[in-house]
Amino acid sequence: MPNVVIVGTQWGDEGKGKIVDLLTEFADAVVRFQGGHNAGHTLVIQGKKYVLHLIPSGIVRANKLCIIGNGVVLDPAALIEEIQHLAGLGVVVNSNLFKISAQANLIMPYHRELDIAREKRKGKGKIGTTGRGIGPAYEDRAARRGIRVSDLLNRQVFESKLHDNLAYHNFMLENFYDANTFAFEAIRDETMRMANILAPYIEDVGHLLHEAIGHGQSILFEGAQGTMLDVEHGTYPYVTSSATVAGNAALGSGVGPTVLHHILGITKAYTTRVGSGPMPTELKDGVGEHLSRVGGEVGATTGRARRCGWFDAVVVRHAARVNGLTSMALTKLDVLDGLEKVRICVAYERNGSRIEHIPADPSVLEMCEPVYEEMPGWKTSVTLAKRKEDLPPEALAYLRRLEELTGVRVSILSTGADRDQTMILENPFQKL
Ligand code: IMP
């Protein structure tokens, strides 16, 4: 059975949550493979609002195995809060259907403090992180001092690692950042309390997935953030600290890349970005205001207003290459309804030269000017269309042009927030 990877092709917030929710119907299990509770999406099902940051949205459907892979950095307090939020809405997070990788690294309270202190110190040059401790937790993983989920089950190892970590981080917090330090006992006691709650969910996830795939089950790998926030292929240093691209679906969940069959890139019909860093098509005019207002472009995690702009085909071409996209889900096409003209950035220009690809040096991107192609807008709402052929001809032409410019076909088209405002033109789970 096919396995499908879902990734964002822009700067995150492409509407992955809705597509994951939709496609979960065809999968046996859903796995998060990177990021942490910096991600977030809101699901509205039968009038109930679920806000999820860590647990795959499959949890609200019966009998779907939901997994947090080794590539995720996990804040135990945030996870428990989410489990309680779901319980309050009548969704019991059953330990038979929810698993956490024993190999995932933990976000500890000092990681949050470090994240915030660093941003403060950077001042104007700040990255605009979500302040959740994501970066410092990944740093500890790379430095080989990270505390892992499996350590929650071994008090002696946990205490020894916590002791060493605090000696190092408290020194940095106090002497370099002039920030709060942390007491060993308080963190130990609180983490051990949470360990009791989380213990039933801890699992060897790579092994579990290997067995499931061997039994012919279909897996949906759920990426967070977007390609341009990838720690290597994004607009470094204005990126998150994990690999957000499709290859990491294998690495971050403990399976090999040969089991990833369909790479589905979620692509918004225009561009948005939260936080600092280059964004060539950003608009500060009435159209930007339209996209922000009609698209409801406010972050689900931090409540920050997103920067908005025209579709950038250079960005999505880059995403097609670094992810190896099989197809795209085009989302929020309805937000462009009613605009007189629509524009697409087809290339960049710098010092009189045309640039067709994302420059390897991100500081060059800062200086690039978008080269636009203009197309007529459409007056009737795309939300009325039930089939691709029902779209206003101008909207269909826009979609076709995006396919041409990115070299990737649209397999799913989303024309509104509801589950049924979606056209599945080609189901990634039904084709190998
Ligand atoms: P961090 O992941 O909190 O370290 O933040 C690094 C950058 O990634 C910042 O620009 C954030 O705004 C951005 N970011 C992190 N998570 C998301 C997300 O889920 N959607 C959009 N941007 C994100």
Condensed to tens digits (0 to 9), the pLDDT of residues 385-418 reads 989 999 999 999 999 999 999 999 999 999 988 8
Parent domain of 90: 4-102+202-262
Let me know if residue 321 belongs to a domain.
Answer: no
Do 32 and 132 lie in one domain? The reply is no
22 residue type, one letter: L
For residue 12, how far is its CA from the centre of ligand 1 (angstroms)?
A: 8
Per DSSP, the residues of 357-400 read S--SSHHHHHT-EEEEEEEE--SS-GGG-SSGGGS-HHHHHHHH
Judged against a pLDDT cut of 70, whether residue 235 lies above it is answered with yes
Q: Which two tokens stand for residue 26?
A: 């065809």
For residue 136, how far is its CA from the centre of ligand 1 (angstroms)?
A: 14
Q: Average pLDDT of 97-103?
A: 97
Greater confidence (384 vs 373) lies with 373
Q: Name the β-bridge partners of 305.
A: 298
The pLDDT of residue 374 is: 98
The pLDDT of residue 61 is: 87
Judged against a pLDDT cut of 90, whether residue 50 lies above it is answered with no
The pLDDT of residue 268 is: 98
Quote the number of domains for the chain: 3
Q: Is 221 helix (H, G, I), strand (E, B) or coil?
A: strand
Judged against a pLDDT cut of 60, whether residue 266 lies above it is answered with yes
Contact present, 168 and 162 (Cβ < 8 Å): no
Cα-Cα-Cα-Cα torsion 117, 38, 186, 189, nearest 10 degrees, comes to -160
Q: Is 252 helix (H, G, I), strand (E, B) or coil?
A: coil
Pocket test for ligand 1, best of 20, 42, 134, 229 (most atoms within 8 A of CB): 229
What is the per-residue pLDDT across 204-227, written as a single tens digit (0 to 9) for each?
999 999 999 999 999 999 999 999
Pocket test for ligand 1, best of 14, 274, 301 (most atoms within 8 A of CB): 274
Contact present, 378 and 392 (Cβ < 8 Å): yes
Q: How far apart are CA 32 and CA 209, in angstroms?
A: 12
The pLDDT of residue 373 is: 98
The pLDDT of residue 199 is: 98
The pLDDT of residue 1 is: 83
User: Which contiguous run of DSSP H or E holds residue 347?
Assistant: strand 341-350
pLDDT band at 300 (very low <50, low <70, confident <90, very high): confident
Pocket test for ligand 1, best of 240, 242, 244 (most atoms within 8 A of CB): 240
Contact present, 267 and 14 (Cβ < 8 Å): yes
Q: Which of 378, 409, 236, 224 is nearest to 316 (CA)?
A: 409
Q: Which of 223, 211, 215, 216 is nearest to 250 (CA)?
A: 223
What is the per-residue pLDDT across 141-174, written as a single tens digit (0 to 9) for each?
999 999 999 999 999 999 999 999 999 999 999 9
Judged against a pLDDT cut of 60, whether residue 432 lies above it is answered with no
Sign of the CA dihedral running 106, 112, 117, 120: positive
Per DSSP, the residues of 143-172 read TT---BGGGGG-HHHHHHHHHHHHHHHHHH
Residues annotated as part of the active site: 13, 41
What is the per-residue pLDDT across 189-202, written as a single tens digit (0 to 9) for each?
999 999 999 999 99
Residue located nearest, by CA, to atom 15 of ligand 1? 38
Ligand 1 atom with minimal separation from the 276 CA: 10
Q: Name the β-bridge partners of 31.
A: 67, 221
Q: How far apart are CA 296 and CA 279, in angstroms?
A: 19
Q: Average pLDDT of 126-153?
A: 97
Do 283 and 397 lie in one domain? The reply is yes
Q: How far apart are CA 432 and CA 428, in angstroms?
A: 8
The pLDDT of residue 43 is: 80
The pLDDT of residue 126 is: 95
Lining residues, ligand 1, CB within 6 Å: 12-13, 38-39, 127-130, 132, 134-135, 224-225, 229, 240-241, 274-275
CA angle 74, 81, 173 (to 5 degrees): 50
Say which CATH number the domain at 184 has.
Answer: 1.10.300.10
Peptide bond between residue 237 and the one before it cis (omega within 30 degrees of 0): yes
Do 231 and 83 lie in one domain? The reply is yes
Do 374 and 284 lie in one domain? The reply is yes
**CB count in 10 Å sphere of residue 293:** 11
Q: Average pLDDT of 230-237?
A: 97
Do 179 and 81 lie in one domain? The reply is no
Do 425 and 393 lie in one domain? The reply is yes
Q: Average pLDDT of 74-92?
A: 95
Q: Which residues of 235-253 are buried (b: 16+ CB within 10 A; e: fewer)?
A: beebbbbbbbbbbbbbbbb
Q: Which of 332, 349, 346, 340 is nearest to 287 (CA)?
A: 340
Let me know if residue 45 belongs to a domain.
Answer: yes
Q: Which of 156, 177, 198 is the last residue of a domain?
A: 198
Do 206 and 346 lie in one domain? The reply is no
Q: Which of 198, 219, 246 is the last residue of a domain?
A: 198
For residue 325, how far is its CA from the centre of ligand 1 (angstroms)?
A: 22
Contact present, 143 and 168 (Cβ < 8 Å): no
Say which CATH number the domain at 42 has.
Answer: 3.40.440.10
The pLDDT of residue 113 is: 98
Ligand 1 atom with minimal separation from the 13 CA: 20
Q: Which two tokens stand for residue 101?
A: 């990788």
| Averaged pLDDT score across all residues of the chain | 95
Let me know if residue 343 belongs to a domain.
Answer: yes
pLDDT band at 431 (very low <50, low <70, confident <90, very high): low
Do 77 and 93 lie in one domain? The reply is yes
pLDDT band at 375 (very low <50, low <70, confident <90, very high): very high
Q: Average pLDDT of 79-103?
A: 94
Contact present, 69 and 205 (Cβ < 8 Å): yes
Q: Which of 146, 165, 198 is the last residue of a domain?
A: 198
The pLDDT of residue 99 is: 97
Residue located nearest, by CA, to atom 19 of ligand 1? 39
What is the per-residue pLDDT across 320-351, written as a single tens digit (0 to 9) for each?
999 999 999 999 999 999 999 999 999 999 99
Q: Which two tokens stand for residue 178?
A: 């002039």
Do 304 and 390 lie in one domain? The reply is yes
Q: How far apart are CA 277 and CA 239, in angstroms?
A: 8
